[in-house]
């Protein structure tokens, strides 16, 4: 089969390797759609080569179910990227992202490939009326902001500020508008701001715009991971407002516990990734009109993976999808 190999130092190649086989509770899935994710930049720009790739947003069909009792050959599935054990207290409560004993997913190579081996319990059902492209987007890029939005209790007419309009930020914009919120977004990239308007933002700004400091939204989400953007969320949200920090960074916001937590009485949460319940709820939203595929600006066959990665990490695309069989 063909698979992407990430070589580090902004280099990507496509290699031919043996097909993975079903074994025990690990099944073989034929990948139909695999999305590039911003988190892959750490490998793309890093100096270390991977034996495979960091792809983790994908959907396809079960090619070989082996002895699995959870899935069958031909099942349409979206692949969950969790390494949840499925046995601890948090997993039993449905909070896979808080697993106390995370282990291996069973995934070999990475999802930017024609086939992948993965644990059968991480193959989430994908109904016939949901496309593979949409299925690939439900777990991470849609699921991550969706889970945060649920926890923030965002509803119609809430004024929402979203910092960062990469794929996660665009998905947050789309979801908040689907809930009839009033959405303001900010990003340093003009292309992303135009994509933000296309995904429903009511108004867009540069992060340095003075209008942001007087906005006083009910809710603020940081999807950038930039400490200045995170601090702006805390500073500009109204007293008693809600803030979610989604973007990952090595540094953190400048927090004044008296100003932000005591005097403003803010509710601040961290949130990442999604659960199988979120997956099912997002399918319901898609059937009611949510269109995750609106974020996809480019599609490439697997042989064009080097071009796809360059375009994506140059900030010249919103969401990029690899289609391994085209």
SS3 content of the chain, % helix, strand, coil (to 5): 30, 25, 45
pLDDT, position 106: 63
pLDDT, position 105: 64
Task: Give mean pLDDT in consecutive 10-residue pieces for the chain, a chain of 326 residues.
Answer: 95 94 94 95 90 92 97 97 88 90 76 95 97 96 97 96 97 98 97 96 96 94 95 96 90 84 93 93 98 96 97 94 95
Asked whether the beta carbons of 121 and 86 are under 8 A apart, the reply is yes
pLDDT, position 108: 67
How close are the terminal C-alpha atoms of the chain, in Å? 13
How many CA within 13 A on the CB side of residue 31? 33
pLDDT, position 123: 96
pLDDT, position 31: 98
Q: At what angle do helices 276-287 and 143-152 cross, to 10 degrees?
A: 90
Asked whether the beta carbons of 270 and 135 are under 8 A apart, the reply is no
Domains and CATH numbers, the chain: 2-142+274-323 (3.90.180.10), 144-270 (3.40.50.720)
Using a 10 angstrom Cβ sphere, with 0-12 exposed, 13-18 middle and 19 or more buried, the burial of residue 157 is exposed
């Amino acid at each position: 089969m063909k698979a992407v190999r990430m070589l580090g130092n902004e280099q990507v190649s496509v290699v031919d390797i043996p097909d993975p086989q079903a074994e025990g509770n690990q099944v073989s899935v034929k990948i139909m759609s695999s999305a590039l994710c911003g988190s892959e930049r750490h490998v793309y720009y890093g100096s270390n080569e991977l034996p495979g790739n960091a792809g983790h947003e994908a959907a396809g069909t079960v090619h070989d179910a082996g002895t699995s009792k959870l899935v069958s050959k031909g099942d349409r599935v979206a692949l969950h990227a969790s390494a949840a054990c499925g046995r601890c207290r948090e997993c039993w409560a449905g909070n896979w992202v808080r697993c106390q004993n995370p282990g291996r997913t069973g995934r070999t190579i990475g999802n930017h490939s024609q086939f992948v081996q993965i644990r059968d319990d991480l193959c989430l059902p994908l109904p016939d009326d949901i496309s593979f492209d949409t299925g690939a987007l439900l777990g991470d890029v849609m699921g991550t902001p969706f889970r945060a939005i649920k926890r923030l209790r965002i509803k119609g007419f809430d004024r929402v500020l979203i910092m960062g309009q990469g794929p996660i930020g665009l998905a947050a914009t789309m979801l908040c508008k689907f809930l009839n919120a009033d959405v303001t977004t900010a990003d340093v990239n003009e292309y992303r701001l135009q994509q933000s308007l296309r995904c429903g933002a009511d108004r867009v700004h540069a992060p340095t715009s003075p209008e942001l400091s007087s906005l006083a939204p009910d809710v603020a989400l940081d999807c950038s991971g930039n400490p200045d953007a995170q601090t702006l969320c805390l500073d500009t949200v109204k007293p008693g407002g809600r803030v979610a920090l989604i973007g990952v960074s090595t540094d953190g916001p400048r927090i004044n516990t008296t100003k932000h937590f005591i005097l403003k009485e803010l509710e601040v949460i961290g949130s990442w990734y999604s659960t199988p319940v979120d997956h099912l709820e997002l399918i319901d939203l898609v059937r009611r009109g949510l269109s995750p595929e609106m974020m996809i600006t480019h599609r490439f066959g697997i042989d064009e993976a080097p071009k796809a990665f360059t375009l994506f990490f140059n900030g010249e695309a919103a969401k990029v999808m690899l289609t391994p069989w085209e």
